[in-house]
Structure 1
Amino acid sequence: MSMTIHTGTIAHVRGDPFGAEEALEIIEQGALAIDRSGRIGLLGERNAVFEAFPNSEIIDHGNAWLIPGLIDGHLHFPQFYATAGPGNGLLDWLENTVYPAEASFADELFARAAAERFVRHLLACGTTTAMVFGSQFYDANLALFDAAARSGIRLITGMTLMDRNAPPILLRTAEQSLDPVEKLIGLCRTTPRLYYAITPRFALSCSPALLEMCGALLKCHPETYLQTHINETRTETAAVRAAFPRSRHYLDVYDGFGLITERTMLAHSIHTTDAELDRMAEAACAVCHCPTSNAYLGSGLFPLQKHLTRGIRVAMGTDVGAGTQFSVWRELSQAYKVQQLRDCRLDACHLLYLATLGGAKALGLEHEAGSFETGKSADFFVLDYEQDSYLAARLGRCENAMDQLFCLLHLADERHVGATYVHGRLAAPRNRSLP
């Protein structure tokens, strides 16, 4: 059988390093064989792979590293141009920076151009799977679906739903939202690598009627996801308690409408109580950690260990636009620093896991993404550091490949992404600047 074989230094995580030892595999003279359908046929030492598949096309990446495609568990499409906006905490920032930016996506031509650039930015940063809050406007979401389908990126997204506490242009009642959401769910059923996420923005922007509709949709369409925010700031959490006085806590608001399931992704979860954490674990939902965004808004330090000890699945997210960059890789360095402040020590294996296999598990996609296991989709990026003279010299002083990976996790960024492949196909080529 003829394959396409990529060579380089290969690194991936084969299991959960928070619960098992020796989960990280690094092959310094490695080769990755990809079949014609875009799936991984074999991973190993390059001579062994060459012998297994003679007469195959070989793409030699030199000393560059081949890493599984990064998984961004939380960011906002209509905040593409809202990065680095001022605001005095979350609620003030939403009102003065985010809502005006999101309203501009009512213009379909503007939204289509933004969708193309948004997807290209993700791929240029090595991201091959992303869970995204879509626009409040149907045509803007169609534009995002179209751009994703053409690029091959694996996209989980849905119309952002809100019916109160925001400018009228962004609000839709449950009755107004139902038909466009149903249409977009149908579109995802017929388009490979697209998944729909029912997306109530957060409790403060949703009436009980809208949350009830979300629960009904989730029950009616079990293949869909549910994504929302929880316990991002203390001010927000207090406001939710006041708005829903009959609920025991923030999570209970969502839980009361059937929104907390194994298909649910909750962004932030910084100020979550023990009772909420216990319920999250019981329901097997997932959480997304967005360290740059949390620092930018002064939200707090994510308690990673409290989530992990309960077995709660955790993904990494850039959370553009409170997050100020599109690189999940750079988020890992920020996560390391945040956890240092919480006396939680992370090594290279822990960090790589959170952005790859851990993210895939959080989304229930570990059978398709997150590592170089045979049969999975060949989604990966090439981390090429050799043109960076300082980084090349720094890596040359490392004692082993594990130390090199740790340095790369802190010193490399999207400028070092030489190429990104989705399902074995080149999606973001070499030697290009960010679009």
Structure 2
Amino acid sequence: MSVRAFRGAILSVPHDPAHARQTVRHEPDGLLLVEDGIIVARGPYADLAERHPGVAVEALPGLIVPGFIDAHVHYPQMDRIAAHGEQLLDWLDRHIFPAETAFADRAHADRAAALFLGELLRNGTTSALVFPTVHDHSVDALFEAALARDMRIASGKVLMDLGPQGLCDTVKTAREASEALIRKWRGRGRLSYAVTPRFALTSSDAQLQVAGNLIAAHPDVLMHTHLAENERECAAVAARFTDAIDYLDVYDRFGLVGPRSVFAHGIHLSDRACARMAESGSGIAVCPTSNLFLGSGFFDFTRAAAHGVKLGLGTDIGAGTSFSMLHTAGVAYQAALMRGYRLDPFRALYLATAGSAALLHIGDRVGALEVGQEADFVLLDPAATPLLARRTAGATLAETLFALQILGDDRAVARTYIMGQCAWNRDAA
């Protein structure tokens, strides 16, 4: 039995501040007791220390928060961050599809997966829902690398039988490969599977139905796709699916809208679609840096909150411009303000942690640093840069958290812990 204790300022937001009271949990001088990777006690140091004599305590100067959970990210697109000049559909054709074609080479996928997971840890991200490519071994490469690092990663082979040459599967191969991958990876380590149609335009009706059948046959998997990201994309979907009420209804007709469905973006949604999402229990991964970079628009937090739609936060690398969930939260604040919504820094932290965990159906395991959860956490340094140090000197907790979101990035992540073990140490890198 391995027991470790960590002392420091501990902060988590277990419940959505938009819908609940008393959501912020903060111990200015707290103790986190971890046994075999699981949190067994949390509370004020003065209360807990005397109950656990003889346990060595590691002091962590800074702010201890739950490990960040990226609710939507593409590991094969990492090499095309900062690809200039296009909105979504042209950007895919010009930059992304050629980059993903390179993943036909397993060795290339292995190298990318290792670098990708290293970037997540360096930025304090301990769990993620990840798009690979259409190639089966792109899933194997990612899962093998995640298993070696004991990370919580959800992913699944991309389905796209209407894709470009080199990235096009079939209805048959989509079904058979997905079934084989589910059998291979289900229940291994901290991994989970996601049925992953790229988006409505890259799958035939028959393949979308295969995706729905897979979800029905495997109720433990997630469904992960894109929805209502770009106005031109929405128009193309409407032109193809003329009988559908709206974009969400396209997915609904194939059984893809349910409590385990995660839709990236959701910028251009009607009240009907938001109400249907709330009714079904599905949710949205909000991706603000990507939405700004591709000129897609600003997510409507007010409308989503009015309908009670579940939300998480995603970097959406590589249209997203940073692996940092701190930076992503800061951009979410700015984007929300463009539509008149003032995103509270505590709600932003919730979206990047417990909110994303709930979206990925891992909220019982991670995201809030509660007793019984896995000890994935991050040590943030409010004095990581001279400007941050000056801005946070004497600041309140809310001011410090907001400054970290607006001014912070990977430099503010001093350490990242996986199951109570240090997986990234800025000072040792």
Common fold: TM-score over 0.5: yes
Q: Could you tell me which amino acid in structure 1 is paired with residue 370 of structure 2?
A: E
Q: Could you tell me which amino acid in structure 1 is paired with residue 305 of structure 2?
A: L
Q: Could you tell me which amino acid in structure 1 is paired with residue 48 of structure 2?
A: V
Q: Is the 8 A contact 2:226 2:264 kept in 1?
A: yes
Establish whether residue 13 from structure 1 lines up as the match of residue 13 from structure 2. Answer: yes
Gaps of 5+ in 1: none
Q: 1:304 — aligned with what?
A: 301
More deviation in 260-269 or 171-180?
171-180
Q: 1:331 — aligned with what?
A: 328
Q: Whole-Å Cα distance in 1 between the matches of residues 362 and 308 of structure 2?
A: 17
Q: Could you tell me which amino acid in structure 1 is paired with residue 424 of structure 2?
A: A
Specify the SS of the correspondent of 1:356. helix
The residue correspondences of 1:29-428 to structure 2 (distance < 5 A) are 29-35=29-35, 37-62=36-61, 64-164=62-162, 166-398=163-395, 400-428=396-424
* Residue 102 of structure 1: how far off its partner (Å): 0.5
Q: Could you tell me which amino acid in structure 2 is paired with residue 38 of structure 1?
A: G
Q: Could you tell me which amino acid in structure 2 is paired with residue 350 of structure 1?
A: R
**TM-score if structure 2 supplies the norm length?**
0.97
Q: Whole-Å Cα distance in 2 between the matches of residues 53 and 425 of structure 1?
A: 20
* Residue 22 of structure 1: how far off its partner (Å): 2.8
Q: Could you tell me which amino acid in structure 2 is paired with residue 49 of structure 1?
A: L
Specify the SS of the correspondent of 1:41. strand
Q: Could you tell me which amino acid in structure 2 is paired with residue 29 of structure 1?
A: D
Aligned residues: 429
Q: Whole-Å Cα distance in 2 between the matches of residues 159 and 88 of structure 1?
A: 26
* Residue 41 of structure 1: how far off its partner (Å): 1.2
Runs of 4+ in 1 over 3 A off after TM superposition: none
Q: Is the 8 A contact 1:26 1:401 kept in 2?
A: no
Q: Whole-Å Cα distance in 1 between the matches of residues 360 and 215 of structure 2?
A: 15
Gaps of 5+ in 2: none
Q: Residues 108 and 251 from structure 1, CA distance in 2 versus in 1: closer, same or farther, beyond 3 angstroms?
A: same
Specify the SS of the correspondent of 2:79. coil
Q: Could you tell me which amino acid in structure 1 is paired with residue 371 of structure 2?
A: T
Q: Is the 8 A contact 1:2 1:56 kept in 2?
A: no
Give CA deviations for 1:202-255 in whole Å, capped at 9, x if unaligned.
001010011011011001111100011111011000000111112121111111
Q: 2:3 — aligned with what?
A: 3
Q: Residues 74 and 432 from structure 1, CA distance in 2 versus in 1: closer, same or farther, beyond 3 angstroms?
A: farther
Q: Whole-Å Cα distance in 2 between the matches of residues 51 and 241 of structure 1?
A: 64
Percent identity reads 39
Q: Whole-Å Cα distance in 1 between the matches of residues 15 and 134 of structure 2?
A: 38
Q: Is the 8 A contact 1:77 1:134 kept in 2?
A: yes
Q: Residues 285 and 387 from structure 1, CA distance in 2 versus in 1: closer, same or farther, beyond 3 angstroms?
A: closer
